[in-house]
Structure 1
Amino acid sequence: MTHPGQTPDATGAQHRLTAALDRLTAVFRGMTAHPDEDNCTCHWGGAEELALLKVPDVELDPDLLKRTWQAVDWTYKAAMLRRILPQFATALTDGRIKPLFGLEEAGLVFHRAGWQQWPAEQAAAVREFLDAWWERTLTDPDPSVPSYQVLALTAEASGTLAPWLRAWEAHTHPTADRHLAQAVDQWESELLRDELPWDTWHDKEATRAELAAWLLRHAPARLRSHGAPDDLLHRIRLLGLTESDRWDDPHWPGF
């Protein structure tokens, strides 16, 4: 049975996400930071905290977890992510990870750790977590983390935008359309300036072009059926125009 406003597959998506989080816990049980890992006690934390990261399966307090995932200067990045991953993933899906700029920062933690080159069982567990979280987001009328933030994270974590956009295409229900309207409203000012709406370590221009082209193909019909205002539909249309034609268009918002 679904709750009011949920899609019929929301319950299944939640079960899938729960199973994916449980799988992370099982696969990464016993993981520790590398024995030789070190960091600056002046800027990161104390020796006792570092020693705690070399003990498996001990819950970290929120501040230590935050400082650990945000630090970019770990020598053994893969081992560090494995150590914190079950707790980190749960905190992400609960909306308790609050980066300063955007959730793509958390996605870059996965990218830097090179998870796609990990042993097959580990890489598969991470991939299933990302897939399950994205599906749950698209089927949840009020997700803990907005869809546009989850998309930025998954794109940065995986180094590609295409599979996450294909999944959005496959979810044609009103909840996914509502998330799309929210995302477009969030992205429009950057995209109309030919900028990607989040920071990336990957090909920024190619990613921006891919996102804009996808919106031009798929967003208008879905947002029209969702009852989106004409102004929003016009701003999507403007993405298909050159800069000078955009600026001369009567619907140019004048950012």
Structure 2
Amino acid sequence: MHLADHPARIRLSAALDSLAVTFRGMTAHPDESNCECHWGSSEELSLLKTPGVELEPDLLRRTWQAIDWTDHAAVLRRILPQFARVLVAGHAEPLFGLEEAGYSFARGRWQQWPDDQAGPVREFLHAWWAQSLTDPDAVVPAHQVFVMCAEASGSLGPWLAEWERQTGCLSDRRLAEAVSEWEYELLGDGLPWSVDWYEHDEEEMRAELVAWLLSHAAVRLRQSGVSADLQHRIRLLGLTGEDRWTDPHWPGHRY
């Protein structure tokens, strides 16, 4: 199969097209404002109130990162088609991690939008997540897409369920890469990304992720032949306190 015909890539392309159609012509609220010292000029602000104008990369970044819009939902709808393309291309440039982009979605409360708007956003997130797991040429690492989708939706369940459905070799490799990235923080009883949106429960997310890794990922990675060291680090997540750090396979992490 030619890579251009990859099903996940075709689905993602259609999802991006749907965002472009759905949010075409939308603008920020006419009375929207922001601090010229910390966000940008009045001329830049006027661009958010002008439909169909592509934003310069730095302006787009400042716009989605800003937390003090009066009507964040309207701002998000204004930039969504361009923002989604930038995310997929790996050009979002968050300061710390891609969870920051997820916060921007969460602040916009997109799940409360009318179905004809929320539906295309939901499909974009699911299409991008599936593509990150199955497309060998996916630009953004799957574990980063996972974090973004989790924070954008406030839930791990749909994304973990999709990972369970995608059982190919590439998806297994993406899982091993994710565990390798996450095990240090998880073994220190932390979540491997920051949770800044006040409605999201960091400890609840960590507990759900650990439970899934122990119940599903451990067996799957063992069957796919990952290193014994990585398997032990997952196993250690099922231990607590002294039992964990005195285990013979404790990796010697210091916190």
Q: Which runs of 5+ in 1 are unaligned?
A: none
- Confirm whether residue 53 of structure 1 aligns to residue 48 of structure 2: yes
Q: Distance in 2 between matches of 1:187 and 1:140?
A: 22
Equivalent residue number for residue 186 of structure 1: 181
Once the two structures are superposed, residues 193-222 of structure 1 have per-residue CA deviations (whole angstroms, 9 ceiling, x without a partner) of: 110001113111110010001001111222
Partner SS state of residue 6, structure 2: helix
Is residue 2:114 matched to residue 1:116?
no
Determine the structure 2 residue equivalent to 1:92. 87
Letter in 1 for 2:146: L
Matched with 2:60 is 65
Deviation at 1:160, TM superposition (A): 0.4
Deviations 1:26-72 (A, max 9, x none): 00011001000001111111111000110001111101101111111
Look up the match of 1:209. 207
Provide the secondary structure at the position in 1 that maps to 2:248. coil
Give aligned pairs, total.
250
Name the SS for the 1:129 alignment partner: helix
Equivalent-residue separation in structure 2 for 1:57 and 1:230 (angstroms)? 53
- Cα distance between partner residues in 2 of 1:228 and 1:143: 22
The AA in structure 1 aligned to 2:225 is G
The TM-score with structure 2 as length reference comes to: 0.96
Equivalent-residue separation in structure 1 for 2:19 and 2:224 (angstroms): 36
SS at match of 1:60: coil
CA–CA distance in 2 between the matches of 1:183 and 1:220?
Answer: 13
Look up the SS of the partner of 1:219 in the other structure: helix
Question: 1:2 deviation in Å?
Answer: 4.1
Partner Cα separation in structure 2 for residue 158 and residue 220 of structure 1: 25
For the pair 1:103 / 2:101, whether they are aligned, the reply is: no
Letter in 1 for 2:149: T
1:247 & 1:44 partners in 2: Cα distance? Answer: 46
- Whether the 8 Å contact between 2:89 and 2:140 is mirrored in structure 1 is yes
Q: Secondary structure at the match of 2:37?
A: coil
* Corresponding residue number in structure 2 for 1:241: 239
Secondary structure of the 2:38 match is coil
User: What is the RMSD computed on CA atoms of the aligned residues?
Assistant: 1.2
C-alpha displacement of 1:97: 0.7
What runs of 5+ residues in structure 2 fail to find an aligned partner? Answer: none
Q: Distance in 2 between matches of 1:142 and 1:236?
A: 28
Supply the distance in 2 between the matched residues of 1:18 and 1:139 (Cα, whole angstroms). 15
CA distance in 1 between partners of 2:97 and 2:124 (Å): 20
Alpha-carbon separation, structure 2, partners of 1:14 and 1:145: 13
Give, in whole Å, the separation in 2 of the partners of 1:162 and 1:244. 30
CA shift, 1:141, in A, is 2.3
Which of structure 1's runs of 4+ aligned residues deviate more than 3 A? none
SS of 1:254's equivalent?
A: coil
Whichever residue aligns with residue 207 of structure 1, its letter is: M
- Residue 149 of structure 1 aligns with which residue? 144
Percent sequence identity over aligned pairs: 64
The match for 2:218 is 220
The question of 1:27 aligning with 2:22 is answered yes
Q: Distance in 2 between matches of 1:186 and 1:2?
A: 31
Q: CA deviation at 1:228?
A: 1.1
**Match of 1:47, as an amino acid?**
S
**Alpha-carbon distance in structure 2 between the residues aligned to 1:20 and 1:142:** 18
